[in-house]
Amino acid sequence: MTDLEDDMHRMTLPEHLNELRRRLVWSVLAIVVGMLVSFFFYKELMELLEAPFREAVTATGAKAKQLLAIDPGEGFLQVLKMCFLSGFVLVSPVVLWQMWGFIAAGLYEYERRYVRIFFPVSLILFSLGLIVAYMLLIPFGMRFLIGWNVALNLGTEFRLSSYLSTCLTMLFGMGLVFQLPLVMLFLQAAGIVERATFVKGWRWAVVLAFILGMILTDPSPVTQIVMAIPVVGLYFLGIWGGRFVGENAEVFRLWKAWPIVIAAAVFVAMLMYRDQLNELAVDMFGQEEPKKEAPADPGASPPPGK
């Protein structure tokens, strides 16, 4: 037995369960506090979530001006749901730290350094996922779907519960999907999955990325494609990062970080030119706007019966 193994405390199954329970209790308490804080700002949060809908209505010229609450308690219940999930986002650093802390409890001391690195990176990736969903996915989807309704001369009145569920699913879906590189790096660092396995499975990853896009987004092909592309990019970043973890890890050099630089440049460009990308997506997949009727001639005689 090595000195490293002598210094390592082996946790029993009851100890693991107690550790899990303690981490869950702290996570639940943090979410409750976050929910209470969010409830004091529910009006501002609701306006923030409604902003993509209102922007899409303005851009497409739709007649809809507000969301609808069909059931008597729908507005209140949806506010509670929104505050719960907003509180989760607010205290996500605490929740993620508890998650990584539970994982670290079963690792050797030299392996715990990965957790110390993964934790801040996990927060950054989760935040980036939320930004992509709010700045790209939701506006693209709303513009596309409302544009079709306008082109078909249909009224656009979204139910509040359906709209919030769609938005929150995309927000949290992207936040969790952006954890993909870390999960891949952890599996490779722990020796559970070899890097060559991920390399061989890239075709399946592309297919699954588009399937995931269909599940987590609205019916528009625009949002499905916009979601699938980052997922594929994150998968290849996980493969690239696998070079620097595990038993045969390469020595990291700054010049080897060019994939991250490219990914960051693409991310910034998509945010800067999102309006142009939105227009391009509507031109490729959307309906043509209906032809407007010519204004009536004031001097013309009224139609029969008027």
pLDDT of residue 290: 46
pLDDT of residue 6: 42
C-alpha distances in Å from residue 42, one per residue of 28, 159, 167, 305 = 20, 18, 16, 53
How many C-beta atoms surround the C-beta of residue 221 within 10 A? 17
Let me know: does 61 contact 150? Beta carbons within 8 Å: yes
Q: Where are the alpha helices (DSSP H) in 106-220?
A: 112-132, 138-151, 160-177, 180-189, 195-200, 202-216
- pLDDT tens profile 170-181: 888 888 888 899
CA atoms within a 13 Å half-sphere pointing along the CA-CB vector of 160: 19
pLDDT of residue 292: 46
How many C-beta atoms surround the C-beta of residue 262 within 10 A? 12
- pLDDT tens profile 239-267: 988 888 877 777 878 888 888 888 888 88
pLDDT of residue 158: 81
Which amino acid appears at position 254 of this protein?
Answer: L
Closest CA to 129 of 92, 87, 161, 165: 92
In the predicted model, residues of the chain with pLDDT beneath 50 are 1-8, 288-296, 305-306
